[in-house]
Structure 1
């Protein structure tokens, strides 16, 4: 059995192709990403720009064509924060569905949190909190196995907050973290969790940068342990660098150089607020959770 998932987010379009033998588990065949920045300018204007929509449609169609050329007919597209926030979201989702001739679903914030948790934590036998820092939103989901106890979505993301705050100096970083601290009390229920997993492009980029990976290696990112002092030091390093200097950091894709500071600041604030002594990074995330969306559904 083969299945393709196209995840359309505020910052990027991602393709996951996976296969599962009878009675077995899903195995990744292909993972690809295209940073189309659909949510550009989203902090100031909720309208989707024509250029961003065109870039995204091209990327989605390219991924859909690639999946079908590999013989995959089971294809579903999903939209996240930008589709929830923009009044044009439902209309654009319909245009995507018509273009790729496949279903296109807009996930609620709580659905996004749930499937990110399932993708990263699976059926873990320990109380776990999974954090997904995306382009337009940040989700926290706490559970034990597939029994979900709490989930929430915050309007915090690396694209959104780059537009809202001046993240090239200490003052702007301080204002962004203060904003995070004002929102995080809504998730105080997860404060006692000992096992934390971070997913999404910000987290995987941090793991890649700390390991100075010239070429992204999912096997080295998966399970990488983050310490709060490492994240704080990296944040100070990043906002003291120019955009051009960030473009040449090993482990950071150049197309993330303008938004990575905001993402790291959000993660840094979260580790500080919840006093997290360490957390692991997962290359498995929302997409992997969505592979079984027809069978496993949030309550």
Structure 2
């Protein structure tokens, strides 16, 4: 098989049904996406995890049922723009830090006030911009001490890939997928990750330190975008954003995406199978629109709980998403083309699910 033949792409109709069901009800108290873990103690309890990325912060709260299953009761994403204007290795501006700290405080209060989750038990992870910034460690220390998030930690690129893989595959394993060889991708504001493994174990992963924030800064600013701008971004990514794993490591595997833009695209197209050509057409459509019109397309007529899970819950969140969505889609297209694939699957689950499973197994 040549590099351009890419990965396998079998459809998973059951995943599409489960994923779209999650988007409708997964953020409501008492309704759920659930996972069963033999090692989870059979007690009635809530667990929470926060993923503090370069563009936004995501909270997941799950309830441990007496039968050992974990049921999602809250899934929300807030825009933070933590990595806005931050080059790798430079300091995060105080305004970005304050904005993000307020968002993390809000999510922490949500978990504590609504579900009784003590901040000291919340699994908080920070990714690209925090690990690469000169003051990233100091910012995490502030969250640990001032907000009581003592489980907070900064992930290496490899660990980010590993948790992303384990969380992503959890959804497929729960649905009883017969596939046993997977490749996962997760892209954010400051980096993207690829990982490979089986349905039961992570094998190898890596991270490239380019995300949607850099694409906005370098090639695709807010507002109406032209074909020439998209072409420049595509060419620039070809030079600046190599794949973190060799393509031959991914051959013969089912490609599965997670993260905000992948989940949005699954909701937009109404399927968990994303086609490269359809994604490219949507990029052109969104790029041709003014921001207000783009926001209307992104939000559609989805319920508020769905918008919150996708990161479109408030006007500020929607504005940020409208600016960055063409950049995120451009990065996704770059990854798919580099891997030689024409389609990919989307998982409803992500790194937060792996974090909660880890805590529930060893509280």
TM tier, smaller: 0.7 to 0.9
Shift of 1:41: 0.7
Please tell me whether residue 239 in structure 1 is matched to residue 287 in structure 2.
Answer: yes
Instruction: Please list, as runs of the form range in 1=range in 2, the aligned pairs for 1:1-299 lying within 5 A after superposition.
Output: 1-22=45-66, 24-43=68-87, 46-69=90-113, 70-73=115-118, 74-103=121-150, 104-122=152-170, 123=173, 125-166=179-220, 168-182=225-239, 183-184=242-243, 186-211=245-270, 224-251=272-299, 253=312, 254=318, 255-294=320-359
Secondary structure of 1:153's aligned partner: strand
**Count of residue pairs brought into register by the alignment:** 286
Stretches of structure 2 lacking an aligned partner (at least 5 in a row): 1-44, 301-311, 313-317
* 8 Å CA contact 1:2, 1:17 repeated in 2: yes
* 8 Å CA contact 1:202, 1:263 repeated in 2: yes
- Cα displacement string for residues 142-201 of structure 1 (whole angstroms, at most 9, x for unaligned residues): 111233232110112112221122363333322332343341274323441341111111
Extract structure 1 runs of 4+ deviating beyond 6 A: none
Cα distance change, pair 46–172 in 1 and its aligned pair in 2 (3 A) = farther
Once the two structures are overlaid, the 10-residue window that deviates more, 157-166 or 7-16, is 157-166
Secondary structure of 1:16's aligned partner: strand
Question: What is the RMSD computed on CA atoms of the aligned residues?
Answer: 2.3
Measured in 1, the distance between the counterparts of 2:252 and 2:283 equals: 24
Shift of 1:245: 2.2
Cα distance change, pair 81–185 in 1 and its aligned pair in 2 (3 A) = closer
Secondary structure of 1:241's aligned partner: coil
Higher Cα Rg: structure 1 or 2? Answer: 2
Measured in 2, the distance between the counterparts of 1:141 and 1:50 equals: 33
- Cα displacement string for residues 119-157 of structure 1 (whole angstroms, at most 9, x for unaligned residues): 111256521111101111100111112332321101121
Q: Residue in 2 aligned with 1:218?
A: none
Measured in 2, the distance between the counterparts of 1:248 and 1:178 equals: 29
Greater percentage in helix: 2
Measured in 2, the distance between the counterparts of 1:257 and 1:166 equals: 12
Secondary structure of 2:357's aligned partner: coil
Measured in 2, the distance between the counterparts of 1:98 and 1:272 equals: 44
* Relative contact order, higher structure (CA 8 A, sep 6+): 2
* 8 Å CA contact 2:166, 2:201 repeated in 1: no
Measured in 2, the distance between the counterparts of 1:226 and 1:38 equals: 29
Q: TM-score, normalised by structure 2?
A: 0.73
Measured in 2, the distance between the counterparts of 1:112 and 1:205 equals: 21
- Cα displacement string for residues 37-68 of structure 1 (whole angstroms, at most 9, x for unaligned residues): 11111248832122221111111112112212
* 8 Å CA contact 1:152, 1:187 repeated in 2: no
Measured in 2, the distance between the counterparts of 1:275 and 1:203 equals: 18
